[in-house]
Chain A
Amino acid sequence: MSEGCWIDAALTAARPQAVGALLRYFRNLDIAEEAFQEACLRALKNWQTNGPPRDPTAWLIFVGRNSAIDGVRRQAKQQPLPPEELLSDLGDRETAIAEKIDNSDYRDDILRLLFICCHPDLPATQQIPLALRIVSGLSVRQIARAFLVSESAMEQRITRAKSRIGSGDVPFETPGPVERSERLAVVAAMVYLIFNEGYSAGGHEQQARFPLCDEAIRLGRLLLRLFPAEPEIMGLTALLLLQSARSAARFDADGAVILLEDQDRRLWNSKMIAEGLALIDKAMRHRSPGPYQIQAAIAALHARAARAEDTDWTEIDLLYAALERLTPSPVVTLNRAVAVAKVKGPEAALALIEPLEERLSGYFHFFGVKGGLLMKVGRTKEAREAFNHAISLANTAAEAAHIRMHLDRLAEG
């Protein structure tokens, strides 16, 4: 790490808390962001010579707030109607901020910041870039690269998202326990979306998009620090870590998908697996299962198997059955079918997925799984049909390449 890199890391780490607090004071996202930028500029100059302050986040909030108040006052002199309310509201906060900053305030500040990015009027394609920009502090260029669009297009998308959420209906009151847990659930879902944006990318795109996975893990850990006893947040973070741990083994040199059972497990990231397993172990102690925990528990069973043939498919089948009960969905049943095929054979799995075809008629993975099962029971012609259908629905070149490999095998056999 070169000189000054630690400052970048410290600024990135402080960002959610600092922008969240500034948003609470100014109740305006643009002012809060500008205030934080200004504080960062001063930090770059000041910290280089003086070293890091004892509490970098409090320093940034304090400096950002003061510089923005100066800005508001300067503007107020030029405008006929001074925002008196805004300034007096801040006065009450003056002592509070100079003192040690209240942890519960912080928690709600960060949650609010993430929550406004999940505004129901925003489509996911805008929510995610907005969160990455405002909460994670990624540059527009970095986000544009991850979404494979031009910088100006991404700039527009973020500006549009910001103007759509406005500041009018941002909830600034301290949330009650029920509302807080509802917000947490919405935010957790967005963090998972961010992860999937990165994780579902094909082999060649993966490098550009993978930073989204790291960012989602960072947000997961952040939520966990705010809510250390929430089993679903443990489950979510564990799930992200355990899936991400496999990333180096998921694609071959040509960018084609390598299935879990064919992956070189030595390439899995053991540090991430250790952290993921520790989190799911902690979560299970709460005896309060939820969808993230169950998915993480499934990923943990894969991570614990030294070889593919050591995988505990019976337990995975049971976990998918539990997931089906909690969140019934044809996609979950389809995933369960893979486990059922291992435990009870391909015929049983085919019977399980047959009723799903209508609802999953546009779903690539359905026809991939169906083709694989038909191939195993020797129904070659139907398998070929299913594979061809899958290729027509493939989302990435890597997916299509993987299915073509099966077709080649069928042709040889």
Chain B
Amino acid sequence: MLYAIFCYNPEDVVGAWTKEEDDAVMERLGKVQDKLREQGRLGPVARLLPTTAATTLRKGRDEPIIIDGPFAETKEQLLGFYIIECASLEEAIDTAKDLAVANPGTGSYEIRPVSIFRPGVDLT
């Protein structure tokens, strides 16, 4: 079964990492991804720009409303996601735990089973 793992973290905290810290976190997360790739379980991975770069389109009227900023004001922001093949919720939680070890401290991972998945074209 496919799972999406959404990475939430206070973006002002992530923004306060030094470049060295950021690089070190990325390197450790890269190793977790390498392992998943070798197991044939790694789907698309994305790190998002800060929510200050986000725009929200609210539907429901004739002319949708365009709002500056993210969809929701939250303490922790959606900063990235993974799509991963997992045999069970247990395996998905173990994967999220590996990510948490690689990137300790603040933040949360939301683990959500995927309903429809279309990989699209390779954009890289």
- Min Cβ gap A4→B in Å is 9
What sequence of 0s and 1s flags, for each residue 35-79 of chain B, a beta carbon within 8 Å of any chain A beta carbon?
000000000000001111101000000000011110001010000
Measured between beta carbons, the chain B residues less than 8 angstroms from A54 are 75
Q: Which residue of B lies closest to A8 (CB)?
A: B16
Assess whether A222 is interfacial by the CB under 8 Å rule: yes
B80 to nearest A CB, angstroms? 13
How far, in whole Å, are A7 and B21 apart by their CA atoms in the complex? 12
Knowing A12-B16, A55-B75, A278-B49, the reply to whether A229 touches B69 (Cβ < 8 A) is yes
Given the complex, which residues of B lie within 8 Å of A279, measured CB to CB? 52-53
Do A5 and B21 touch (CB < 8 A)?
yes
Q: Judge if B1 is at the interface, Cβ distance under 8 Å.
A: no
Q: Contact flags (1/0) for A205-248 with B, using CB distance below 8 Å? A: 00000000010001001101100110000100100000000000
CB distance from B22 to the nearest CB of A (A): 8
Q: Is B89's beta carbon under 8 Å from chain A?
A: no
Tell me whether A13 and B53 are in contact (CB under 8 A): no
Do B12 and A222 touch across chains, with their CB atoms under 8 A apart?
Answer: yes
Identify which of A8, A13, A103, A234 gathers the most chain B CB atoms within 10 Å of its CB: A13
* Given A6-B13, A13-B15, A285-B66, A1 contacting B106 (CB threshold 8 A): no
Chain B residues near A1 (CB-CB < 8 A): 17, 21, 24-25, 103-105
Instruction: Tell me how many residue pairs across A and B have CB atoms closer than 8 Å.
Output: 76
Give B17 Cβ to nearest chain A Cβ, in Å. Answer: 5
Determine if A360 is an interface residue (Cβ-Cβ < 8 Å): no
- Interface size for chain B: under 10, 10 to 19, 20 to 34, or 35 or more residues? 20 to 34
A258 to chain B, nearest CB (A): 22
Does A10 touch B at the CB level, under 8 Å? yes
B113 close to chain A: CB less than 8 A: no
Chain A min CB distance to B50 (Å): 6
On whether A6 and B105 interact (CB within 8 A), knowing A275-B49, A282-B55, the answer reads yes
Q: B25 contacts which chain A residues (CB < 8 A)?
A: 1
Residue B114 lies at the interface, judged by CB distance under 8 Å to chain A: no
Q: Is residue A289 within 8 Å, beta carbon to beta carbon, of the partner chain?
A: no
Contact (Cβ within 8 A) A9 B53: no
In contact, A6 and B53 (Cβ under 8 angstroms)? no
What 0/1 pattern do residues 1 to 29 of B give for CB contact below 8 A with A? Answer: 00000000010111111010100110000
Indicate if A352 sits at the interface (CB-CB under 8 A): no
Residue of A nearest to B49 (CB): A275
| A3 interface residue per 8 A CB criterion | yes
Q: Which residues of A contact B105 (CB under 8 A)?
A: 1, 5-7, 9-10, 52
User: In this complex, which of B25, B50, B69, B105 has the most chain A Cβ atoms within 10 angstroms of its Cβ?
Assistant: B105
A330 at the interface (CB under 8 A from B): no
What is the bound-complex CA distance between A55 and B25, given in angstroms?
22
Tell me the chain A residues, 1-36 only, with Cβ under 8 Å from chain B: 1, 3, 5-10, 12-14
Q: Which residues of A contact B (CB under 8 A)?
A: 1, 3, 5-10, 12-14, 52, 54-56, 103, 214, 218, 221-222, 224-225, 228-229, 234, 237, 271, 274-275, 278-279, 282, 285
20 A-B residue pairs with CB within 8 Å: A6-B13, A6-B106, A9-B13, A9-B14, A9-B21, A10-B10, A10-B13, A10-B106, A13-B16, A14-B12, A55-B75, A56-B106, A221-B12, A222-B12, A225-B12, A228-B68, A279-B52, A282-B53, A282-B55, A282-B68
| 18 more A-B residue pairs beyond the given contacts A9-B14, A10-B10, A282-B53, with a C-beta to C-beta distance below 8 A | A1-B17, A1-B24, A5-B17, A6-B105, A10-B16, A14-B12, A52-B106, A56-B106, A218-B15, A221-B52, A225-B12, A225-B51, A228-B52, A228-B69, A229-B68, A234-B68, A271-B49, A285-B66
